[in-house]
Structure 1
Amino acid sequence: MFSVVLIAALVTCVAGDALPGFLLPGKCAAPDLQDRFDLRRYSGRWYWTHIIENEYLPMETCVHSQYDYSYTDNGFKVRTAGFNSAKEYLRLEGQIYPTKEFPAAHMLLDFPTVFAAPYQVLETDYESYSCIYSCIDTNGFKSEFGFVFSRSPTSDGSAEAKCAAVFAKNGIDFSRFQRVSHNADCIYKA
């Protein structure tokens, strides 16, 4: 389905001489993934500290996710919430789960209002940071997203520093990442 959307976007852009913001020329990186990824340890609340701009994510500030591991589904039921630019509190619910074709650290993101996409855990210590990469390429263009998660909304910067190094090692430009604001007005009830 994403390929159809991507091709439609390319056709539209060629006619209008502009690419949508989520498309870049090139191929996706082939990053190293977390070795022996443990789904159960990954469960719990994650606060988003940095992202590559994502037109499909309506939240901009106070973004956080609750990952509830499901043994029967061998994956997570995920609730993500935060405020949009109009200061409205929004919530998305979906699933993230491994597939038979890839190792556990290479999962599939499946939310009703978002196209299915890869969810690759490049590195995590489960306790303080997680570095996530999602990219699909076709016909010489890529749709590339990245995320830095922390177990604390007031990260001391260790998640940023660790993930910046991980992304750089894997050929992913960390300068494209933007900080996600967390302040006293945040509500964390995803």
Structure 2
Amino acid sequence: MSAVVLLLLLPPLVSAQTYHWGPCQTPRVQPGFDLQKYLGRWYEIEKLPASFERGKCIEANYAIRKDGTIRVLNSQFYKDKVRVAEGTAVIPDLREPSKLGVSFSYFTPYSPYWILTTDYNQLAVVYSCTDILRLFHVDYAWILGRSRFLPPDTVMFAKKLLISEGVDLFRMKATDQMGCKDD
């Protein structure tokens, strides 16, 4: 029965995400991560495919809420309008502050949101992986910038880092940031 369910789940995953056989990778994360410096607006420069991100002008804004959780406000321009999704991020283990969990619904568990590296001022490289019964996993990876465009050598540095951590970038593509309106 579970094999049938797995086969039914695969087609949507294949078209909209990056999946691989076996369990998730465990890449190294940013040592000494400082959440306060990370807060604010980040623009998506490149990413592995994600079914929830199909538009252009994609950005994320992070802020601390009064209850101590992190407000995640993602926006994108898709089908002629700006679409916004608000989520919550937490740091499950304060000993590893660069390993956040993010959820966009009260009904879904927190997904990994690991900051592999950031200089806080220009670049952040983020990785997430969802393990499905340890049979296969779905990878997500983002190269983020504090501006809509990063120098090519900075993007190449980020890609080399992801590759060195075992992340397959075959399906990674640039996010369209042309003609976007800034607040």
TM-score band, normalised by the shorter chain? 0.7 to 0.9
- The answer for unaligned runs of 5 or more in structure 1 is 1-5
Distance of 2:93 and 2:115 partners within structure 1: 16
The aligned residue for residue 150 of structure 1 is: 145
Letter in 2 for 1:38: D
The aligned residue for residue 132 of structure 1 is: 126
Maintained 8 Å contact 2:23/2:134? no
The secondary structure found in structure 2 opposite 1:63 is strand
Q: CA, structure 1 residues 13+45, in 2 after alignment: closer, same or farther (shift >3 Å)?
A: closer
Return the match for 2:170 from 175, 179, 183.
175
Letter in 2 for 1:163: A
Maintained 8 Å contact 2:44/2:59? yes
The aligned residue for residue 83 of structure 2 is: 90
Distance of 1:34 and 1:129 partners within structure 2: 12
Maintained 8 Å contact 1:39/1:69? no
The aligned residue for residue 53 of structure 1 is: 49
Distance of 2:107 and 2:160 partners within structure 1: 29
Q: CA RMSD in A?
A: 2.5
Distance of 1:69 and 1:159 partners within structure 2: 28
- For residues 31-81 of structure 1, the C-alpha deviation after alignment (integer angstroms, 9 at most, x for no partner) is 000001000000111000111100133x421001111134741x4211111
Q: CA, structure 1 residues 183+50, in 2 after alignment: closer, same or farther (shift >3 Å)?
A: same
**Segments of 4+ in structure 1 off by > 6 A?**
none
Deviation at 1:173, TM superposition (A): 1.5
Distance of 1:48 and 1:63 partners within structure 2: 6
**Matched ranges for 1:85-124 at <5 A:** 86-100=79-93, 103-112=96-105, 115=108, 116-124=110-118
| 1:65 has 2:51 as partner | no
Q: CA, structure 1 residues 71+50, in 2 after alignment: closer, same or farther (shift >3 Å)?
A: same
The aligned residue for residue 12 of structure 1 is: 8
Letter in 1 for 2:142: F
- How many percent of aligned residue pairs carry the same amino acid? 21
Distance of 1:13 and 1:147 partners within structure 2: 24
Corresponding residue pairs, total: 177
Q: CA, structure 1 residues 113+24, in 2 after alignment: closer, same or farther (shift >3 Å)?
A: farther
- Structure 2 length-normalised TM: 0.85
Letter in 2 for 1:32: R
- Structure 1 length-normalised TM: 0.82
Distance of 2:95 and 2:138 partners within structure 1: 20
